[in-house]
Amino acid sequence: MSARINKYLSEVGYCSRREADKLVEEGKVTINGKIPELGAKVEEGDQVEVEGQRIEKSTKEKNIYLAFNKPVGIVCTTDRRVEKDNIIDFIKYPTRIFPIGRLDKPSEGLIFLTNDGDIVNKILRSRNNHEKEYIVGVNRPINEDFIQSMSNGVKILDTLTKNCFVKQLGPKKFKIILTQGLNRQIRRMCESLGYKVQTLKRVRIMNIKLDVPTGKYREFTKEEILKLNLLLENSSKTFE
């Protein structure tokens, strides 16, 4: 039974499919000693290595799902050689896990970590309309025009952001619920309207709310996993 290399690395719990593609592009993956192209398939009996480390399918470990409250300054990467403040070294979890999506270095709050590569793509794909909620502080007072503009879509990265829920919480603070995840989206939206983000905290992803102290994590409850699976039931994956 064959599988694309990104799917193979995802299913064995090595990394997400997106990260697997990056590893292939960087020439860090080999199949039977040869560097494959993107989309190459792994056949039964093939020897897969990442940076010289043999990657084998084994009896599937228990799926791990963690809700982590990322502090400011921690980087959401599994590349432990590039960033000393990476999320993996910070958490020091005993088995291999990787983050679902990103929170940039100056941001804080909820991020998921898992060894389940399939769930990553279902959560991240914007067409699945999965909600992510943030509390944002900016550098100067906001008004109704700002709230309406943010709600109705802002032109960034050559596209108009999707309509979203925005509510003012204070003179310089608001809540925003997004269903897409463009690069540095909230910061870029604010900048396009003449504001600068000073604090950005993610407080919810789908049905999971942030309820642990900064720098701490917890496992999903059985009830959360059941509800999450229901929400993901009709979600498509990033790569088919």
Would you call 104 a catalytic residue per the annotation?
Answer: yes
CA atoms of 168 and 206, how far apart (whole Å): 21
Asked if the model's pLDDT at residue 155 lies above 90, the reply is yes
pLDDT band, residue 57 (cuts 50/70/90) = low
Q: How far apart are CA 187 and CA 161, in angstroms?
A: 12
Task: Summarize the confidence of residues 175-186 as an average pLDDT.
Answer: 92
Question: Residue 238's pLDDT band (boundaries 50, 70, 90)?
Answer: very low
Please state at what angle helix 17-25 crosses helix 117-124, rounded to 10 degrees. Answer: 100
Q: What is the mean pLDDT of residues 2-11?
A: 86
Q: Which of 34, 43, 36, 2 is nearest to 20 (CA)?
A: 36
pTM of the model as a whole: 0.77
Q: Which of 85, 104, 145, 211 is flagged as catalytic? A: 104
Mean pLDDT of 196-219: 97
Least confident of 87-96, 138-147, 227-236: 227-236
Domains recognised in the chain with CATH numbers: 3-55 (3.10.290.10), 65-115+211-232 (3.30.70.580), 131-205 (3.30.70.1560)
Residue positions counted in the chain? 240
Q: In this model, does residue 235 exceed pLDDT 90?
A: no
Give the percent of the chain with pLDDT over 70. Answer: 92
Residues 10, 203: Cα–Cα separation, whole Å:
27
